[in-house]
Structure 1
Amino acid sequence: MEQSERSRASDSRRADRKDVLRDFQVSFFAMSRLVSFPWSFLEKDLEGNTSSALLSDILQQTCRHSLCRKFPPSVRYRKLFLSELIRRQEAAGCDPLDALYDSLAEVVGAGDPTECFKSYLLPGGEPVSLLESVSLISEGTTGLVTWDAALHLAEWALDHRHTFTGRTVLELGSGSGLTGIVICRSCGPRRYVFSDGHPRVLQALRDNVRRNGLSERSSAEVIVEEMDWTTATEDQIGRIGADVVIAADVVYDPAVVEGLVEVLSRILRSSSPEVFVCSAIRNPETYAGFKRLLEAAGVAHQVVSGAVSPVFPYSRDVRMETLKLFT
C-alpha cells in the first residue's frame, strides 16, 4: 500500500511539473505579465533541494526553445524574465545555472526594436506567431497588437467550431489576425475574409497570415481585404457573401461606433448571416451607446451565454461580453 501511495505521489509531482512547464512556456511566448507566472511552484522546488533542474527545464521551454530563436519575444521582456529567474535562483541559494547567465548575456546590450513576436499556443501545442507592435498605440492605430477580446473570441470559436466549419467567415477589424488564424487553423471554414481599414494594419495582417502558412496548412480560401466601415459598398458586402461575421474589441471609441453599426446593419440586411461581436467592457458608457445605436438601426442583440474553455493567457478581470446580432 505504501509503495502504491508513493507511486501515485510521484506521478502527481510529474504531472504538476509538466503543467508548470507548459504554464511558463505559454505565458512567456505570449509575453504575459511576469506576476502571472507560477512562481510559487518554482520557489517550493528550489527550497526543497539545491538542484537547478527545474530552472534548466524552464529555460529550455522558453528562451532556449526553438520557437524563441525563430520568433523571439521582445529583448526587454526576455531581459526581465531571465533576471527574475536569476533573482529567484540566487535567493534560494541553489546551485548556479550557467546557462541562465549565458542567456542573459545574449540579450544584454541588444537593441530593442519597435516590433516583437508574440506566440499563442493552441491546445495541441502548435503556435500562432504574430509580429506585433511593442506599444498599444502606434502609427495612429491600436490594430498592431492583439487585444484580450480577440483571445476570448478565439477561445469561444474553439468551443463552437461547428459555427465556422464549411462556411464563409468575414472578420471586421482583424488587427494582427489572431482570431482569424486560430479559426482557419482549427475550425475548418470554407473561406475566410480578414478585413481592416488601416493601411499599416493591412500590411502587418498580410504578413502574419503568410507567416502562419494558412495557404499550406488550411483548406480554406484566405483573403485579406480592405474594408472601411464608412465607405463599404453593397457590392463589396454582397461579393463576400458571409455566412458568419465576427468582430473583437471594435467597440472602444465612440467616434467609430456609428460607422460600425452602419456596416453591421447593411451586412445583416444583405444576407442575414450569423453575427457575433465580442467586447472587453472597459468603458460601460461607450458600450451602452453601441447597444443604443444598434436598437436605433433596427438591429436586435442577445448576449451569448456560457463560459469558454481557457486556452490563451490574458487578463480575465475585465468583463467580456459577446453579442449575437440579428434583424
Structure 2
Amino acid sequence: MAPEEGTETSRLLRNFERRFLAARAVCSFPWQSLEEKLRDSGSELLLDILQKTVKHPLCVKHPPSVKYARCFLSKLIRKHEAVHQEPLDELYEALAEVLTAEEPAQCHRTYLLPSGNSVTLSESTAIISHGTTGLVTWNAALYLAEWALENPAAFTHRTVLELGSGAGLTGLAICKMCHPRAYIFSDCHSHVLQQLRGNILLNGFSLESDATTPAQHTGHNTHNSESPMVTVAQLDWDVVTAPQLAALQPDIILAADVLYCPEIILSLVRVLQRLSACQKDRRVLDAYIAFTIRNPETCQLFTTELGQAGISWEAVPRHNQKLFPYEEHSEMAILKLML
C-alpha cells in the first residue's frame, strides 16, 4: 500500500471511529469513500471498521443505542454486498448480536480527546424526555468544548460555573484537559441533575457537596490534587437567591445552547446580572455563551437584552480545530460577555 493510500485509509477509519462512538447520524458517515476503498481492497478494511466501531473497547463497555448499532451494521453490510460477492461472517454475526439485544432507556456517546482520553456520556434515547431537552448533548456544547480545548489558559487554576450543563460534555472535557481549580455544573431539572451526576462519576471524577453551600469549592479535590473540585448545583434562574449565587464566586461562566426561546433568554440575562452584582471585588467577570444560530431573531433578542442590561459583549473568532463530529451545516457562534 502506497503511503498516501495508508494515510487515506487511516483517516477513513478515524472518521468512522469518531462518528460511531459519538453516535452521529448514520447518513453522515463517509460511505462513498468507503465504497471506493472497498472496490480496491478485500475484507480487511471492513474488519478494521468493525474493530473501530461496534467492537471498539469503549463501545463494548458503553454501548450506543441498539437501534443505532443495527442501522449502522445494516448499512455496512449493504456496502459490502454492493462490492463483494462473498459474505463476511463477522458482519452478520455482529448484526445477529444486535438483533437479539434489548433497547435500554439510556445509551452512550463517547467523544475522543486530543490527549487520547475520552468523555463518555449516558444520554436518554429520546430527544425530549421527562419534559426537558437537557438529557442529550447539543452541537453548541461540542463547539464550546472545542474552543475551550484550544484555549486552556482561560480555565487553568480557575473556578468555572456552567449554566445549563445538560449531559455535561463541555464541563467534562474542560475538567479532563484544561486543569480548572473547580468546576460547578448546574441545571434546574431534577432528571438532568441526576443524569449529570452519573456522567461525572462515569468519567472518574468525585463529587463534592452541594455547590450552593458557601465556601464549598475554594480548595482542591481531596481525592486527587490533580483533579478539579467538581460540584453540581441546582439553579433555577428565576428563583435562585442572591446568597446562593454569592456562594459560587466563579472566575468564569459558560453556557451552551441555552438561547432557544424568549423566556429563557430573559431569565439568562437576569441571572447574569445577579452574578455580576455578587462579585466581591467587583472585578470583570467573563462569560462565554455558545449557541447554534437557528433563528436570527432569537440571537438579536439576546444581544438587545444584553445591551439593555448594560452588559457588553463581543463575538469570539472561530477556532481552528474540529475535534468532535457534529452537523457540518450547523452555524454556531460564541459571545464573550463582560459582566
Distance 1:16 1:145 in 2: 32
Distance 1:25 1:96 in 2: 23
Distance 1:99 1:139 in 2: 39
8 Å contact 2:318–2:333 — kept in the other structure? Answer: no
| RMSD between aligned residues | 1.5
Distance 1:289 1:280 in 2: 14
Match of 1:275, SS? strand
Distance 2:44 2:87 in 1: 10
Look up the equivalent residue of 1:270 and give its one-letter code. Answer: C
Q: How does 1:316-327 map to 2 (within 5 A)?
A: 316-327=328-339
* Larger proportion of helix: 1
Q: Residue 265 of structure 2: which of 253, 257, 282 is its match?
A: 257
1:270 corresponds to which residue?
278
Match of 1:130, SS? strand
Distance 1:95 1:27 in 2: 27
Whether 1:176 aligns to 2:200 is no
Q: Residue 312 of structure 1: which of 310, 324, 332 is its match?
A: 324
2:253 corresponds to which residue?
245
8 Å contact 1:52–1:95 — kept in the other structure? Answer: no
Look up the equivalent residue of 1:293 and give its one-letter code. Answer: E
2:295 corresponds to which residue?
283
CA-to-aligned-CA distance 1:186-243 (integer Å, 9 cap, x gap): 0000000000000000000000000000247752100011111111222222211100
Q: Residue 108 of structure 1: which of 90, 93, 99 is its match?
A: 99
1:212 corresponds to which residue?
203
Shift of 1:100: 0.5
Give the unaligned 5+ runs of structure 2. Answer: 207-222
Match of 2:337, SS? strand
Distance 1:306 1:260 in 2: 23
Give the unaligned 5+ runs of structure 1. Answer: 1-8
Q: Residue 119 of structure 2: which of 113, 123, 128 is its match?
A: 128
Distance 1:176 1:237 in 2: 22
CA-to-aligned-CA distance 1:56-93 (integer Å, 9 cap, x gap): 00001111111111100100000010001100111102
Match of 1:214, SS? coil
1:5 corresponds to which residue?
none
Distance 1:128 1:146 in 2: 12
Whether 1:186 aligns to 2:177 is yes
Match of 2:278, SS? helix
Q: Residue 186 of structure 2: which of 178, 185, 195 is its match?
A: 195
Identity %: 47
1:163 corresponds to which residue?
154
Distance 2:75 2:331 in 1: 30
User: Matched residue pairs, number?
Assistant: 318
Distance 1:32 1:219 in 2: 30
Instruction: Give the TM-score, by structure 1 length.
Output: 0.94
Structure 1, 135-144 or 263-272: larger mean CA deviation: 263-272
Distance 1:259 1:42 in 2: 47
8 Å contact 1:181–1:214 — kept in the other structure? Answer: no
1:31 corresponds to which residue?
23
Distance 1:65 1:199 in 2: 33
Match of 2:306, SS? helix
2:238 corresponds to which residue?
230
Instruction: Give the TM-score, by structure 2 length.
Output: 0.90
Distance 1:77 1:234 in 2: 45
Match of 2:2, SS? helix
8 Å contact 1:185–1:214 — kept in the other structure? Answer: no
Q: Residue 312 of structure 2: which of 297, 300, 303 is its match?
A: 300
Instruction: Flag the 1:19–1:124 CA change in 2: closer, same or farther, 3 A.
Output: farther
Structure 1, 11-20 or 155-164: larger mean CA deviation: 11-20
8 Å contact 2:150–2:319 — kept in the other structure? Answer: no
Distance 2:37 2:238 in 1: 57
Look up the equivalent residue of 1:14 and give its one-letter code. Answer: G
Shift of 1:94: 4.7
